[in-house]
Each structure stands twice: as structure tokens, then as C-alpha cells.
């Protein structure tokens, strides 16, 4: 069975867990706690020198980091990757957007506000920049979803999973999701997918 090293409350770690739940992929979860320096401990750094989760470990021992690369690896043979080459590229476009234009602001602001150990870094300037840039990213999503059910094509793809992870908890970062009706309706569509599990969910055992 594959193993996903992750943190229960991390959206990046939720992405592969959610894909596994939706696609029926069995996995083992190993919690890596930031509080005890988990990702920076020598034994973890030996597995991922970048010192971050999520980290996927295959049955043969090979490992893969970066949440969206893990989504790609696990998702390739599932209905969450479009067959059409252009739609596949559009899916990647949204996944790069998630990493470069969304996560760092939407998730970043949430982490500054939610985790006590990050409070010292939560300067007013930093919070303001993250609010402005995160709001812009959410506005891009809102405009796109005004005329669509999912980010690419007619069915959910890895792009929806990647963007759902931190958007659904954006309110914890001080973002006003009530002002984004198309995004809110899309969030509901994801929650209603067969097999959906919330971020707090971990597999048994």
C-alpha cells in the first residue's frame, strides 16, 4: 500500500488524501507534526531534503514530494485527469496557478492567523499583502466559475481538488467567501461528489 506523510490540518496534504478518497485509492497516513520539528528532523530530511509534507511513498520505496506532483502521479489513471490533451494542459494551468498565485496568499494568510507558532510573523503589512493578493486570486476563480461547473470541462479534475484544499478554509484566513457565490456553489459541488471526505478525515489504521 502507498503511504502519504502529511499533516492533518494542511491543505497541501489534504489534496492527495481527497483524491484517494474520491478515486478509491487505499493509502496509509503517517502524521508528521510541525510542533516536534517533524519535517526538519534528520530522519524526515533523509526522505525529503526540502523538509516539507506531503510526501508520497510508493510500495517499492520511491518517494515523491510536492502536492500537485503527487496528485498528478496518483491521478493519472483516474477520471480526474481529462483525456483531451488541451484540457489536460488547462488542468495543469490551474494547478500552477494554485501554487503560484493562490496557495501562498490564501493558505499563507490562514497559517499566519491560525497557528500560534506563526503569530510573530503575522505583521500588519504581511497580512495586508496576503489579503490583497489572495482576494485577487479568489476573484479570478469567481469569474471563471460564473459560467462553469468545474475548472476544466464538465467534470471535476485534479485542478478542482488542488484549488478546493485551501479555498474551502479561506474564511479562516479572513477571506469573505460569502461575497463569492460562484466559488461557494462550486465548493458545494465538490463536497457533494461521491466519496468526498473532509480535511479532518484520515484513513483507519
Ligand X SMILES: N[C@@H](CCC(=O)N[C@@H](CS)C(=O)NCC(=O)O)C(=O)O
- Residues of this chain that interact with ligand X (CB under 6 A) are 7, 10, 12, 34, 39-40, 51-54, 66-68, 99
CB of 189 to ligand X, least distance (A): 23
Q: How many residues does the chain have?
A: 205
Give the separation between CA 101 and CA 99, rounded to whole angstroms: 6
Q: Is the dihedral of CA 159, 62, 198, 106 positive or negative?
A: negative
| C-alpha grid cell, residue 19 | 483524491
Nearer to ligand X, 116 or 124 (CB): 116
CB of 51 to ligand X, least distance (A): 5
Nearer to ligand X, 39 or 135 (CB): 39
CB of 103 to ligand X, least distance (A): 7
Give the separation between CA 159 and CA 167, rounded to whole angstroms: 12
Give the separation between CA 145 and CA 64, rounded to whole angstroms: 31
Nearer to ligand X, 38 or 182 (CB): 38
Sequence-ordered alpha helix ranges (H) in the chain: 11-23, 42-47, 67-75, 85-97, 103-114, 124-145, 158-167, 181-191
- Check: CB of residue 51 under 8 Å from CB of residue 65: no
CB of 8 to ligand X, least distance (A): 11
Nearer to ligand X, 67 or 135 (CB): 67
CB of 138 to ligand X, least distance (A): 18
Nearer to ligand X, 12 or 153 (CB): 12
Amino acid at each position: 500500500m502507498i503511504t502519504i506523510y502529511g499533516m492533518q490540518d494542511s491543505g497541501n496534504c489534504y489534496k492527495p488524501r481527497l483524491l484517494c478518497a474520491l478515486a478509491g485509492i487505499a493509502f496509509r497516513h503517517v502524521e508528521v507534526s510541525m510542533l516536534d520539528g517533524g519535517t526538519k528532523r534528520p530522519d524526515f530530511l533523509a526522505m525529503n531534503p526540502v523538509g516539507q509534507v506531503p510526501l508520497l511513498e510508493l510500495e517499492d520505496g520511491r518517494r515523491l514530494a510536492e502536492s500537485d506532483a503527487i496528485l498528478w502521479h496518483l491521478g493519472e489513471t483516474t477520471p480526474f485527469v481529462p483525456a483531451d490533451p488541451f484540457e489536460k494542459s488547462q488542468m495543469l494551468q490551474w494547478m500552477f496557478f494554485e501554487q503560484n498565485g493562490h496557495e501562498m496568499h490564501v493558505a499563507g494568510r490562514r497559517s499566519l492567523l491560525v497557528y500560534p507558532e506563526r503569530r510573530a510573523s503575522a505583521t500588519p503589512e504581511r497580512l495586508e499583502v496576503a489579503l490583497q493578493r489572495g482576494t485577487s486570486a479568489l476573484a479570478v476563480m469567481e469569474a471563471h466559475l460564473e459560467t462553469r461547473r468545474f475548472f476544466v470541462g464538465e467534470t471535476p479534475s485534479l485542478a478542482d481538488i488542488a484549488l478546493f484544499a485551501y479555498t474551502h478554509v479561506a474564511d479562516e484566513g479572513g477571506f469573505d467567501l460569502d461575497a463569492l457565490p460562484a466559488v461557494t456553489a462550486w465548493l458545494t459541488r465538490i463536497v457533494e461528489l461521491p466519496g468526498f471526505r473532509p480535511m479532518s478525515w484520515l484513513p483507519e489504521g
